[in-house]
A and B are shown apart, each in its own frame.
Chain A
Amino acid sequence: MKISNKIQFFSLLLAGLFWGCETDDVQKLENRNWTLTWSDEFEGEKDQAPDPTKWTYDLGTGQNGWGNNEYQTYTQRPENVGLDGDGYLVITALNQPFGGANFSSARIKTQGLFTQKYGRFEARIKSPYGPGIWPAFWMLGENINEVSWPQCGEIDIMELRGQAPSTMYGTLHGPGYSGGNAVSKNYSLTNARFDNDFYLYAVEWDENKIDFFVNNYLYGRITKEDVPGEWVYDQPFYMILNVAVGGNFVGFPTSQTPFPQQMVIDFVRVYQKSN
């Protein structure tokens, strides 16, 4: 089942009234009109690779486990990434040795194909789960190859620890506030889990702030003043979807981690403010 493309943005107004878990009390969101600038609905045949005009890959084990001591190798095999034929993209983490690693998974990105400065970035995702499983929907500054990380900036729209599937995080990493010192917001479900259903994860980003949403509920806002270093979010960013197995953020998988694990993505949509 896919939800309609017509998002009810009116709900933003309502949602803003309830974001009570931060130190700020109540904030009203101004009304906005968004224009769709890019999207992938993941329609296509089963096992088809994601649209090559929209997505490219990070492959292999990276340096030092992609800088995080991750355990997996990333591949573009249909076992690890592909459409399911029902309108979803599925990234699958497997615990079978491949390419010198004990786990394989996939990490796809729009680098070199699509970047955008400011706007709304959203994806509807059903999370994987289990100790050491680390799914993420996130962005990096397009100048990463010139200035390197974290100077390029990183906007994490959604990530969670598979051993705590009721809590997700939205985070900014930049110069002077990266890794364990990143500026982070989180949102926990009461008596529910992010791996049990689809949730819509989004950021709304402008020159002054980045707002973080779950199902259009604003759970966190990080402004220019909130970051203890340079605000590096005034340049185009590209998007990344991946499932890591193990790593500094999540810890490591155990013999009790259920495999295979799947991150199921209904759509990714990007908007620009139109007024």
Chain B
Amino acid sequence: MKVFNIKNINRIFFAGALSIFVMACERDVTDLGTPNYPANPEVFIDGFSGGLNYAAFGGSVPTAFQIDNKETHNSSSASMRFEVPDANDPRGAYAGGTFFTGSGRNLSSFNVLTFWAKASKSATIDIVGFGNDLGVNKSTVSISGLAVNTNWKKYYIPIPDPSKLTAERGMFFYSEGPEEGKGYTFWIDEVRFENLGTIAHTKYYILDGKTETKEAEINEKIQITGLKTSANLPNGVDQTVDASVAYFTFSSSNEEIATVNELGEVTIISSGEATITAKVGETPASGALTIKPAGSTPGPTSPAPVPGKPAMDVISLYSNAYTNVPVDTWNTRWQFSTAEEFFIKVQNDDVIRYKNLNFVGIEFASNTINATSMTHFHLDIWTPDEVTAAKAFKVLLVDFGPNNSFGGGDDSSHELTFKAPLITSGNWVGIDVPLTAFSGLTRRGNLAQLVLSGDFPNVYIDNVYFYKSGGGGPTAPTTAAPVPVYPATNVISIFSDQYTNVAGINLNPNWGQATKVTEISIQNNKTLKYEGLNYQGIEFGSNQNVSSFQFLHLDFWTANSTELRIFLISPGPVETPFTLTVPTTGWSSIDIPLTAFAPVKLNEVFQIKMEGNGDIYLDNILFRK
């Protein structure tokens, strides 16, 4: 069995160059232009029925269909033989075509199209059906993946609503490609419409019978899909077919909230709840779509900060402040991505809103970006979603390498993860990182993709750009850390010029680490410097009871660290890490709730440890209320 190839279906409906062969066609000269079409149920019994034509679909083997007088069902005089080509057959990639009539037939007194089929080997025919008239294909009904084998077997394609077929021209169509690269032959015989009392329990489905709820915004459009009909065959098994939208009548429970047109396209009119259902004739279809307002998701009310970098130092993908380079798409709709994108305005500033974001591909492969002269990547994000320590927002950059195309062994990529406290809810957050932090991105001359992912389903983004920072950016702080302003009575200080530090502090206990520790002075302010951090401890000299304190405060600065954690430790040792967002843009001040260090005993903390990499500058390490 092979994987069903959706492209085969597309071929049918977008068939380009059609080669039409009129075969054994008895021209139907009666009653042209009258509304009452003949009710001829026969399509192919032992030859073409009256008025029947055949056309091969574009790209198919034109001669795939032949009349066969040897291999027939029930030893009748003729059957239809279909020769599926091998892969790479120069005559065509598949076998496909439609049998249609020049004028319509009235099929409203029949409930099923039946035929017999067998094949030279067990195979799965991509699609068979009726209703392809080489025109609008209004009444198409089809089976996708029809299993055939070397025995003749009768097949049934139930008609969802025969009353719609008063002037049908599409009698039978098929499309089938090679199976695992190999061609084969199948035969179809005794094709006719019937009215069978042994077809029972016809059921209709929209959304494949599922009841779905969707949050939607005003003016959003949603297509109702999964239109199916099933009927129980004489062997007690249900046959499900894909049915065209023309058989269904849609309705909305509240037209002031959402409307639905005859093509099953839902338009959200105003905020509220509405349910879309459908009928075939008078019979309700299973499945419904309930629209709920998405207004409960707040968005930014002010635009992101306007970037101030000189345009000559910027390659911008999305910003009103710069001329943007071409981007193929802001949503590649890769498989399993649920992201939806909306281009909105916040106070006249263009912003991209992502909804249901699990991951989204942003592609500029048609015009890859050469960012070799750039030093940083910038992105502003705003999320209304709750931020917790565990939730991450991830940025992946992909370079296609010198071959400027996907694959080929020269691609490289790197993903950075951002969490609280950098990420906050309800604020514009600037993600501004040196490109060196994307350490796995070994080249950046052919950047082609940006992938955003993580745990925040609602994200607004703006000011996506690469920039060149003068001289590649400072590697050490030139200004002192911000001066803490907490009253001394509310502070137990470990390292700060502003307060009396705990007596007996050891800033460089020998725990076997490789880190080089120095105290330096920046603007006459003592600053603790870790060079080549692997890990590093601080011993307090005596146990400290901080159980009545709220935060561990810390100022840190690093241009090159990509990983940094701080641990609070009580005897045992009992220690808990907290991840710091690095590298920083200037001094980063953080107040870590002491509850984040549970189960460390806050009444007897006695050490701090840092782990990670790079060169770190630290100041104002203190507990505060």
Interface set of A (CB-CB < 8 Å, partner B): 129-131, 133, 161-166, 189, 191-193, 195-196, 254, 256-258
Contact = CB atoms under 8 A, between A and B. Distances in A.
Interface stretch (B178-186, B230-238, B379-387): B230-238
A140 B232 CA distance: 33
Interface stretch (B61-69, B193-201, B275-283): B193-201
A164 B236 CA distance: 6
B237 A191 contact: no
A257 B196 CA distance: 20
A196 B197 contact: yes
B197 A129 contact: no
Contact of B198 (A161, A192, A258): A192
Main secondary structure of the interface of A (DSSP, over half): loop
B236 A191 contact: no
Given A131-B236, A258-B238, 14 more contacts: A129-B236, A130-B232, A130-B237, A131-B237, A164-B236, A165-B198, A165-B234, A191-B196, A193-B234, A195-B201, A196-B200, A254-B237, A257-B237, A258-B201
Interface in B445-491: none
Interface in B337-357: none
A129 B234 contact: no
B234 A166 contact: yes
- Which size class do B's interface residues fall under? 10 to 19
Contacts of A257: 236-237
Contacts of B235: 131, 163-164
A24 B258 CA distance: 68
Residue with the highest number of chain B CB atoms closer than 10 Å, among A161, A163, A189: A163
B201 A129 contact: yes
7 contacts: A162-B236, A164-B235, A193-B234, A195-B200, A196-B201, A256-B238, A258-B201
B300 to A, nearest CB: 48
A191 B197 contact: yes
Nearest to A189: B197
Contacts of A166: 198, 234
A129 B232 contact: yes
A192 B196 CA distance: 8
B198 A133 contact: no
Interface in B83-97: none
B238 A193 contact: no
Contacts of B197: 189, 191-193, 196
Given A129-B232, A258-B232, A193 B200 contact: yes
A98 B447 CA distance: 57
A162 B200 CA distance: 13
A258 B232 CA distance: 9
Contacts of B236: 129-131, 133, 161-165, 257
Nearest to B200: A196
A90 to B, nearest CB: 16
Contacts of B198: 165-166, 191-193
